[in-house]
Amino acid sequence: MSDTHAESVAFVRESVIPPAPPPAKEAGAIRWMRENLFATWFNAILTLVALYLIWVLLSGVVPWIVNGTWQGSSLAECREILQGNGGGCFAVLRERWPQLLFGFQYPDYLRWRPVLAFFLLFVAVPPALFVMFLPRWTLIVTAIYPFLAYWLIWGGTILTPLFAALGVVAGYLAFSFTERRGFVLGLAAGVVTALAVWWIGGLLAGEFSRFLRLEAVVSRAMGGFMLNLVLGIVCVSLSLPIGILLALGRQSSLPVVKGFCVVFIEFVRGVPLITLLFVANVVLAFFLPPDANFDLILRVIIMITLFASAYIAEVIRGGLAALPKGQYEAADSLGLDYAQAMRLIILPQALKISIPGIVNVAVGLFKDTTLVSVISMFDLVGMIRGPILASTAWAGIYWELWAAACLMFFVVCYGISQYSQWLERQLQTDHR
């Protein structure tokens, strides 16, 4: 083998050494355990502690699920069926499932509408989530969805959401026609057109309020997990554009604009969401026209949106700051004006970098929608704490309900954060 001699330096290998299997001291599984679980004595102790913990957890949870019952219409009946075998009383979930999902005021014969809206979500969201794989026109479905969902959940004539959508479309068209004559002009034209369409639409919808009408449901009737989802989705979508504007404002060189944005962002980020919900609950009404009726849900949406937009603004500011300075200079040297540079060059890149951060904010905000239960709205947490735990049939049951709540939130939040990680990897490979 060793034909290398230090004296005669020259050496040539004539035959190739084939790869050999590693020296196997033990069989695969035992070796793996030795390396990954019992490498040192400290590691071995850790392993044992971890195993003990897992055993404790499983020995509590497994019998609870396996022995659990879905029968019975009250805790007493449940206990009778279970005979103290340690099983869970999941009957409460079976019986109160609609309440957990929709709250206790949404008319039961109309529940098919939010259910339909929920399932349409799975058609509407993929085009936005997987832009890179689906044809761009599918985004239209996403764009239509909010208006459709509004109509399904709240009811009323279809003219309301229709004109709302028309206003947006008309505004956008007006903007893109006049934009060439200057961004500000375009913006003004767009806003004016949209407002005009909305105004006309409002009149028409009032006039023909029976046209293609679904039975209207008041906002107060919203509840359960549906309320969390509605608040989460609406507030995140609304806060995105506001957040972008705030981020740009904070970066701007105009002291008035910059100052306002800084004060707003720092103020909102400095106070807890609860205090903003208090504002929505008891203070905001002072500052709105006395005759207009903004119901609680709308006020809450306003405040949560403002809250979210401050956080999103900070994320986007991070994205803007992370862009190399060369990008700004390149945009300038191409002769683009501020609006064009931002829209065509800076923002697309900055938003791309910010996506993981935005998703984090979205997940956090979705979790924070449970706080509305503190101002006596009946979201999922509010339903459990209020009507269900206070009912005579189910007072004294808690593990099953909280486990259900945990599971529902976990599925949504974990799903979103996994998506964000996937997207992050996707974008990383894009860059190379």
Partner 1 sequence: MAMTDTDTATPQMEISDEVAIEIRNMNKWYGTFHVLRDIDLTVHRGERIVICGPSGSGKSTLIRCINALEEHQRGSIVVDGTPLSSDLKNIDKIRSEVGMCFQHFNLFPHLTILENCTLAPIWVRKIPKREAEKTAMYFLEKVKIPDQANKYPGQLSGGQQQRVAIARSLCMRPRIMLFDEPTSALDPEMIKEVLDTMIQLAEEGMTMLCVTHEMGFARQVANRVIFMDDGQIVEQNEPEAFFKSPRNERTRLFLSQILGH
Partner 2 sequence: MTTLSDPPHADGFRLSLLVRDKRYRSYTFQAIALIALFVFFGWLASNAIRNPVLQQAGIDFGFLADPAGYDINQQPIPYTSQSSHLRASFIGAINTLIVAFLACVTATVFGVFAGVLRLSNNWIVGKLMALYVEMFRNIPVLIWILIIFTISANVLPQPSAFRGDDPEASPILGVAALTNRGFYLPRPYFTNGIGAVPDDVPADGGAPVAQEVASIANWLIVLAVFAASFLAVRGVNAWATKRQNATGRRPSTFWTNLGLWFVPIILTLLILGLRWEVPELRGFNFQGGILARNSLIALWFALSIYTGAFIAENVRAGILAISRGQTEAAAALGLRPGRVMSLVVLPQALRIIIPPLISQYLNITKNTSLAIAVGYMDLTGTLGGITLNQTGRALECVLLLMAFYLVFSLVISAVMNAYNASVALKER
Q: Which residues bind partner 1 (CB under 8 A)?
A: 1-2, 4, 6, 9-13, 16-17, 19-23
118 or 278, CB closer to partner 2?
A: 278
Cα gap 79→87, rounded to integer Å: 9
Cα gap 195→74, rounded to integer Å: 54
Q: Return the C-alpha torsion angle 309, 315, 319, 321, nearest 10.
A: 100
Cα gap 99→108, rounded to integer Å: 10
Distances (CA, A) of 112 to 118, 213, 230, 379, 427: 10, 16, 16, 19, 38
CB of 46 to partner 2, least distance (A): 5
N residues, the chain: 432
If you write DSSP's letter for every residue of 269-284 in order, what string do you get? HHS-HHHHHHIIIIIH
**Residue with the two structure tokens 């989802």:** 229
Q: Which does 27 bind (CB under 5 to 8 A by kind): partner 2, partner 1, none?
A: none
12 or 292, CB closer to partner 1?
A: 12
1 or 292, CB closer to partner 1?
A: 1
9 or 132, CB closer to partner 1?
A: 9
CB of 62 to partner 2, least distance (A): 16
363 binds partner 2 (CB under 8 A): yes
If you write DSSP's letter for every residue of 190-213 in order, what string do you get? HHHHHHHHHHHHHHHHHHTTTTTE
The three-state secondary structure class of 244 is helix
What token pair was written down for 395?
């007072």
Alpha helices in 40-90 (DSSP H): 41-66, 75-82
Query: Binder to partner 2 among 64, 147, 307, 409 (CB under 8 A)?
Result: 409
Q: Which does 137 bind (CB under 5 to 8 A by kind): partner 1, partner 2, none?
A: none
Query: Binder to partner 2 among 4, 26, 43, 177 (CB under 8 A)?
Result: 43
Q: Binding-site residue total for partner 2 (CB under 8 A)? A: 57
Q: Which does 112 bind (CB under 5 to 8 A by kind): partner 2, partner 1, none?
A: none
CB of 229 to partner 1, least distance (A): 46
CB of 134 to partner 2, least distance (A): 27
Q: Which does 237 bind (CB under 5 to 8 A by kind): partner 2, partner 1, none?
A: none
The separation between the first and the last C-alpha atoms of the chain, rounded to the nearest angstrom, is: 45
160 or 281, CB closer to partner 2?
A: 281
Q: Which does 23 bind (CB under 5 to 8 A by kind): partner 2, partner 1, none?
A: partner 1
Query: Binder to partner 2 among 189, 371, 377, 383 (CB under 8 A)?
Result: 371
Q: Which stretch binds partner 2 (CB under 8 A): 98-106, 155-163, 235-243, 248-256?
A: 248-256
Cα gap 311→300, rounded to integer Å: 17
Cα gap 19→374, rounded to integer Å: 67
339 binds partner 2 (CB under 8 A): no
35 or 266, CB closer to partner 1?
A: 35
CB of 95 to partner 2, least distance (A): 20
15 or 253, CB closer to partner 1?
A: 15
If you write DSSP's letter for every residue of 291-348 in order, what string do you get? SS---HHHHHHHHHHHHHHHHHHHHHHHHHHHS-HHHHHHHHHTT--HHHIIIIIIHH
Distances (CA, A) of 402 to 368, 385, 391, 399: 16, 10, 16, 5
Q: Which stretch binds partner 2 (CB under 8 A): 89-97, 171-179, 348-356, 368-376?
A: 368-376
Draw the binding track, 277-316, toward partner 2 (x: CB under 8 A; -: no contact).
Answer: -xx--xx-xxxxxx--------------------------
Contact 104, 378 (CB under 8 A): yes
Q: How many CB atoms lie within 10 A of CB 84?
A: 8
CB of 397 to partner 2, least distance (A): 10
What token pair was written down for 42?
């400290």
Cα gap 306→241, rounded to integer Å: 11
CB of 153 to partner 2, least distance (A): 22
Draw the binding track, 45-84, toward partner 2 (x: CB under 8 A; -: no contact).
Answer: -xx--xx-xx------------------------------
**Residue with the two structure tokens 């009778």:** 80
Positions that interact with partner 2 (CB under 8 A) = 35-37, 39, 43, 46-47, 50-51, 53-54, 182, 184, 253-257, 260, 266-267, 269-275, 278-279, 282-283, 285-290, 363, 367-368, 370-371, 373-374, 381, 385, 396, 398, 402, 405-406, 409-410, 413-414, 417
